[in-house]
Amino acid sequence: MIKKSPWEGYALLENLLHKRDFYAGSLMTLLGAGVTLNSLSYNTGTLMHMGPGMFPFILGCTLTFIGVLIFGTAVLTPLGEDERILPVNKEWLGWFCILAGPILFIIMGHYFGMAAATFSCVFVSALGDRQSTWLSSAVLALCITVPGCLLFSYVLQLPFPLFRWGF
């Protein structure tokens, strides 16, 4: 991974940009700093009479500190063998389908009711697997929708209409 470069510093920096902990540390530092700044907008009070802002302030400072420490380990340790952040097989379709399923559940549930929501959620997320086909996903979705709706709608009496037309 290490590229020979005329500038030593440049190479170090480029190595750093390949490290997972560089991103992990930066993320935590930024999050900590954000929380600390945000907590100042609430009343911190004194140590004896703490306001709502004090505890988040302490946590934010600690998180920033931990983030810097993670960042520090990234700078100090040599480049590891496997520093890829994304896994080897990038399952963009799988990831997309798994997220799209619940999102469709919200939309379909809001406008068309539980049955449509369940079917679309299972159907779309099932499409994310490489071996599944349109047909197998549809069959699976049907197999889940029928007993699922019976269970939640009739047995558990969930206040979520099976069918509705919500426009």
Partner 1 sequence: MIATALQDLWYGFGVALEPHNLMWCFIGVLVGNMVGVLPGMGPLATISILLPLTFGIKPVGAILMLSGVFYGAQYGGAICSILLNLPCHPPHAVTCLDGFPLTKQGRGGAALGITVISSFVGASWGITEMIFLSPILVTVALKFGPAEICSLMLLGLLAGSTLARGSPLKGVAMTICGLLLGIVGSDIETGTPRFTFGIPNLFDGVEIVAIALGLFGIAEFMKSVNQLSEVDTKYTNVKFKDLRPTKDELRRSWGAMFRGTIIGSLCALIPGTGPTIASFISYATEKKISKTPEKFGTGMIEGVACPEASTHSSVQGDFIPTMSLGIPGDAVMALILGALMIQGIVPGPQLISEHPDIFWGLVASFWIGNIMLVVLNVPMIGLWVKLLTIPYRYLYPSALFFVCIGVYSTNNDMFQVGETIVIGLIGYMLLLLDFHPAPVLLGFVLGPRFEENFRRAMLISRGDILVFVKHPISAFFVALCVILILAQIYVRLRPPKVLEENMPAVGELVD
Binding site for partner 1 (CB under 8 A): 20-21, 23-24, 27-28, 31-32, 35, 38, 42-43, 46-53, 55-56, 59-60, 62-63, 66-67, 69-70, 73, 85-87, 89, 91, 94-95, 98-99, 101-103, 105-106, 109-110, 114, 117-118, 121-123, 125-126, 128-132, 137, 140-141, 144, 148, 152, 156, 158-160
Closer residue to partner 1 in complex, CB, 14/152: 152
What are the helix (H) ranges across 2-133?
8-18, 20-39, 54-76, 92-112, 114-126
Nearer to partner 1, 6 or 157 (CB): 157
CA count, 13 A, side-chain hemisphere, 92 = 0
Place of tokens 């159907």: 123
C-beta closer to partner 1: residue 5 or 93: 93
Cβ proximity of 125 and 78 under 8 Å:
no
Closer CB to partner 1, residue 10 or residue 102? 102
Closest approach of partner 1 to the CB of residue 152, in Å: 6
Smallest distance from partner 1 to CB 92, Å: 11
Instruction: Report the distance separating Cα 27 and Cα 86, nearest Å.
Output: 16
Cα–Cα distance measured from residue 130 to residue 107, given in angstroms and rounded to the nearest whole number: 25
Kindly report the length of the chain. Answer: 167
